[in-house]
Chain A
């Protein structure tokens, strides 16, 4: 067991979690903004669907992804036709992590958007801004702390993703073996001390991210609406 191996596992894990987080950021923020502006049944349905990855066994999500991307489906064939290989590559780990962590981002960002005084958005409209400009000039600047907190939480979730990842990406050393998979693998083969070292590494990374969430996620007084 050498440090180089551990560094490569950590690097792969950070790459997978990082790419997954960056990929879901625009989608998650947009979904959160749309959900915050809607009331009614459509919203409940979309929110319930979005929450599924949080409540279903991760392995269930893994199987669903595996089935959707297999060569037996139109989606799988289309991806194959494009010459992109997903299953059992690091890209599959990214996909699994993205799906599993998207709900956390959406929830956090949606709450941040909902906390904005709707009158601010209305006043911005009367001052000549269309919906997109209101989003960029008022909603985003006021919600960025919540979005950042959600992003960091999603990153942590992606870093710890195991169940769905192992199904779609396998557990291939140097290719798809992330920290979570490596810990499982080492524990299974009796390398408990090695596993614990990885636990220490992942704990440190997660602590820094959660600490940052707590530190920057709290609203400061000057960002509250003046009443």
Chain B
């Protein structure tokens, strides 16, 4: 539980925050210059002159009234800045080991586990200048994790990476969340990332909290588009592989909703070697790839065809985002205003959704 109630004046900018964060992962979104990085720096203790109170699970980091300020080195917080900020004079092993005070068997085991978790064991003797962006990010993440932080602060860890690399790193973050179980505050521009990783979201604008709450409630399309003009809306599906058919190159996924696999709405996804029946996997489907039809088609190459009911129609800048419910899942489809007219899409209308197998991109 992180309690934040502080003010930081740096004319002409000021950041005023009143927040109580209880999520495992809190996504922080907002336009550039809204104070996202500053918020992390205040929590880490790297910004002086913040006035107010900052506590983590009852531990006081900052209490201006009592003139208490815990030094950054005594907060036990893992901080991964936007650019990985690896120590250039140390190799990867030296970087990862930096925060380990007294090397012990336990710390060596922890380092080995973290390197394995992030798949960077082979990088150990290399220097930061020889690493790719994605490798450097994982090393920075490992360096923060091996100190067993109370809280992990991630500042747009994927922002500097291209979209392919982004999709390769994201599974590692999911692993950190699920395996290392470190609470995270995750600054991002990317709604998809926030939806995948976070259970709670905060939207900052011009140094003020504009919205906060469970991620699904906060990240409404309207708010998101206002924060970021070119927002993408993705469908994130997490499920259990119930069988895989190597011959056809597909697998069937039972979506997880409320903890139990929903076998009534099976999805057909591309088969991946590493996946076996019973394994959990997360897939992403871009909202542009969700096709809407008026009625069931006769024959169609898409393997996922099912009925859905429109629950909301939201007009964005040039497109229309249609939210639909099918069984336990909610889907987002991005269509043109012309399509809305032709298909007479409105709240409550029954439609058919069609999604090609290969529109499902595996995230983790």
Question: Which residues of A does B touch, CB under 8 Å?
Answer: 117, 119-120, 122-130, 137-138, 141-142, 221-227
Across the interface, which residues of B come within 8 angstroms of A227, CB to CB?
A: 83
In the bound complex, do residue A125 and residue B71 qualify as a contact, i.e. CB atoms below 8 Å apart?
Answer: yes
Chain A, interface SS category: helix
Give chain B nearest CB distance to A130 CB in angstroms.
Answer: 5
In the bound complex, do residue B98 and residue A124 qualify as a contact, i.e. CB atoms below 8 Å apart?
Answer: yes
In the bound complex, do residue A223 and residue B72 qualify as a contact, i.e. CB atoms below 8 Å apart?
Answer: no
Known: A117-B85, A128-B147, A227-B83. A122 touches B41 (CB 8 A): yes
A138 to B78: give the CA distance in the assembly, Å: 18
In the bound complex, do residue B71 and residue A127 qualify as a contact, i.e. CB atoms below 8 Å apart?
Answer: no
In the bound complex, do residue B46 and residue A225 qualify as a contact, i.e. CB atoms below 8 Å apart?
Answer: no
Minimal Cβ-Cβ distance residue in A for B47 = A122
Known: A221-B129, A224-B129. A126 touches B72 (CB 8 A): yes
Complex interface: stretch among B28-36, B86-94, B218-226, B322-330: B86-94
- Please indicate which of the listed interface residues A126, A130, A141 has the most CB atoms of chain B within 10 Å of its own CB: A126
B99 at the binding interface (Cβ < 8 Å): yes
In the bound complex, do residue A126 and residue B44 qualify as a contact, i.e. CB atoms below 8 Å apart?
Answer: yes
Which of A124, A126, A129, A137 contacts B77, CB < 8 Å? A126
- Please indicate which of the listed interface residues B73, B77, B84 has the most CB atoms of chain A within 10 Å of its own CB: B73
In the bound complex, do residue B136 and residue A123 qualify as a contact, i.e. CB atoms below 8 Å apart?
Answer: no
Give chain B nearest CB distance to A113 CB in angstroms.
Answer: 14
A227 to B128: give the CA distance in the assembly, Å: 9
Enumerate 30 A-B pairs (CB-CB under 8 Å) in ascending A order.
A119-B81, A119-B83, A122-B41, A122-B79, A122-B81, A122-B85, A123-B79, A123-B143, A124-B87, A125-B44, A125-B73, A126-B73, A126-B77, A127-B143, A127-B147, A128-B76, A128-B147, A129-B73, A141-B89, A142-B88, A142-B89, A222-B127, A222-B129, A225-B85, A225-B128, A226-B83, A226-B88, A226-B129, A226-B131, A226-B136
- Knowing that A122-B79, A125-B72, A126-B78 are A-B contacts, what are 20 other residue pairs whose CB atoms are under 8 Å apart, sorted by A's residue number? A117-B85, A120-B88, A122-B44, A122-B46, A123-B143, A124-B87, A126-B46, A126-B73, A126-B75, A126-B79, A137-B98, A138-B87, A141-B89, A222-B88, A222-B127, A222-B129, A226-B84, A226-B86, A226-B129, A226-B136
Across the interface, which residues of B come within 8 angstroms of A127, CB to CB?
A: 73, 98-99, 143-144, 147
Across the interface, which residues of B come within 8 angstroms of A123, CB to CB?
A: 79, 81, 85, 143
Across the interface, which residues of B come within 8 angstroms of A122, CB to CB?
A: 41, 44, 46, 72, 79, 81, 85
The 8 closest A-B pairs by CB, nearest first: A127-B99, A226-B128, A125-B72, A119-B85, A126-B79, A122-B46, A141-B89, A119-B81
Give chain B nearest CB distance to A115 CB in angstroms.
Answer: 11
In the bound complex, do residue A130 and residue B73 qualify as a contact, i.e. CB atoms below 8 Å apart?
Answer: yes
B45 at the binding interface (Cβ < 8 Å): yes
A143 to B284: give the CA distance in the assembly, Å: 46
A142 to B136: give the CA distance in the assembly, Å: 19
Across the interface, which residues of B come within 8 angstroms of A126, CB to CB?
A: 44-46, 72-73, 75, 77-79, 144
Give chain A nearest CB distance to B101 CB in angstroms.
Answer: 6
In the bound complex, do residue B89 and residue A223 qualify as a contact, i.e. CB atoms below 8 Å apart?
Answer: yes
B86-142: which have CB < 8 Å to A? Answer: 86-89, 98-99, 101, 127-129, 131, 136
In the bound complex, do residue B73 and residue A128 qualify as a contact, i.e. CB atoms below 8 Å apart?
Answer: yes
Give chain B nearest CB distance to A17 CB in angstroms.
Answer: 30
Across the interface, which residues of A come within 8 angstroms of B71, CB to CB?
A: 125, 130
Known: A221-B129, A226-B131. A125 touches B88 (CB 8 A): no
- Please indicate which of the listed interface residues A137, A138, A221, A226 has the most CB atoms of chain B within 10 Å of its own CB: A226
Across the interface, which residues of B come within 8 angstroms of A124, CB to CB?
A: 87, 98
A117 to B87: give the CA distance in the assembly, Å: 10
Minimal Cβ-Cβ distance residue in A for B91 = A222
A142 to B85: give the CA distance in the assembly, Å: 13
In the bound complex, do residue A224 and residue B88 qualify as a contact, i.e. CB atoms below 8 Å apart?
Answer: yes
- Please indicate which of the listed interface residues B45, B72, B129, B144 has the most CB atoms of chain A within 10 Å of its own CB: B72
Minimal Cβ-Cβ distance residue in A for B46 = A122
Across the interface, which residues of A come within 8 angstroms of B88, CB to CB?
A: 120, 142, 222-226
Across the interface, which residues of A come within 8 angstroms of B127, CB to CB?
A: 222
Give chain B nearest CB distance to A226 CB in angstroms.
Answer: 4
Minimal Cβ-Cβ distance residue in B for A126 = B79
Across the interface, which residues of A come within 8 angstroms of B79, CB to CB?
A: 122-123, 126
A59 to B342: give the CA distance in the assembly, Å: 92
Across the interface, which residues of B come within 8 angstroms of A119, CB to CB?
A: 81, 83, 85
Across the interface, which residues of A come within 8 angstroms of B72, CB to CB?
A: 122, 125-126
A227 to B137: give the CA distance in the assembly, Å: 10
